[in-house]
Amino acid sequence: MKNKFRPESLMMTHGYQPELSEGAVKCPIFQTSTFVFKTAEEGKAYFEIAYGLREQAKDENLGLIYSRINNPNLEILENRLCLWDEADDCAVFESGMSAISTVLLEFLNRGDLLLYSSPTYGGTDHFIQHFLHKMGVHTIGFTPNQSKEELIELISKSGYADRLALIYIETPANPTNAIIDMQMCREIADYFKGDKKEAYVAVDNTYMGPLWSHPLQHGADIVMYSATKYIGGHSDLIAGAVLGNAEIMNRVKVLRTFLGNMISPHTAWLLLRSLETLKVRMEQQAANAQKIASFLTNHPKIEKVHYLGNLEENSHQYELYKKQYSSPGAMVSFDIIGGEKEAFQFLNNLNLIKLAVSLGSTESLAQHPASMTHIGVDSEVKEKLGITEKLVRLSIGVEFADDLIWDIKNALSTVKKEPIKEKKLIEVAN
């Protein structure tokens, strides 16, 4: 009887044949730039596929050519990442921004319209605001609380409705944890697509993936990751990933070939190592985050906690969460009573939790979005989105939860702002 193994089980072996590597139980590092063809005809066939000159036949393999195009470590890693999202194919990159920028460059042309969610990662926001505009791409930003009807009207009145090419969303939003309806974005893309022009939906799933959310199952065409975060998870590498169907990924991989922004064999090997413990790490992080969010919710110096586990039942955000996510995740943001002064007092007095701007690693990290990751976002936009001077973002790691709570409690005790006497029920802002 044949059994369908779960992804966490297949992370140890999928895509790797020990007999091709002297019987090594773990995949070695293929630290080479160049691979030998058996025949000239074989080399020709490989290049035809690599350069997008023809589609790959059903039973045809793209053989190894050059590590800028493919490498055993890259291929095994891409095969294993596909399992989590049930994608046809995957492409790995040298950074999350490299993955994001490649997608934006491939699916947007001069005169096209990009609809994107806000807030989004600071690097992505900068690329959209400063680089895409140079390319002649039109952009419209929207917030999580805007409805399908509002967005359709916004696009229709833009004058570029017939040029909508891509809807780009980051959900939950960084750093507020507000949720965007992926299925709604799919419906908007379908509403504006033409006979000869497709409108794609791309989702940055770094916050929740690949374990707690699977955007391809909720209408997305493309899912992206900063693999530096949970997938890598040890603060020792930089990487990104893009997943989707075969046609989309062929386009992404062809552009990657010419941009040359793939990861190195060594980085791929490190990610293969990390994938083996991905589930146990993320589950521990989520369990710790739940305890920390509970502690913060009841603390007199905290005004509001932004955490998916605190969503009010039967609210629109809650219904989206139950439909599109399997866990509240391990990101906890909160508004401290006061402003930048009080936020900095808290951050400067942490001991176990480190002051750093990344997320999703084994160690817990804290940062101040308004003055760090989102410093380049327009001040009025930040205020509108809730990225204020009092907002602090925590990325919860795998440490002992009680130790993390002690560290947070101790740092909060140094904050000199007088607490307010009454505090509203804590919930994620809609």
Local confidence band at 12 (pLDDT 50, 70, 90 cut-offs): confident
Local confidence band at 220 (pLDDT 50, 70, 90 cut-offs): very high
Q: What is the pLDDT of residue 259?
A: 95
**Which are the contacts of 22, defined by CB distance < 8 A and separation ≥ 6?**
none
Q: Which domains does the chain have, with CATH numbers?
A: 82-265 (3.40.640.10), 279-413 (3.90.1150.10)
The 10s digit of each residue's pLDDT in 313-322 is: 989 999 999 9
CB of 103 closer than 8 Å to CB of 33: no
The 10s digit of each residue's pLDDT in 44-78 is: 998 888 887 888 888 887 788 888 888 999 999 99
Which among 222, 204, 227 has a CA at the least distance from the CA of 95? 227
Which among 173, 110, 111, 106 has a CA at the least distance from the CA of 142? 173
Q: Cα dihedral sign for 413, 288, 242, 68?
A: positive
Q: Percentage of the chain with pLDDT > 70?
A: 97
CB of 334 closer than 8 Å to CB of 304: yes
Model pTM greater than 0.75? yes
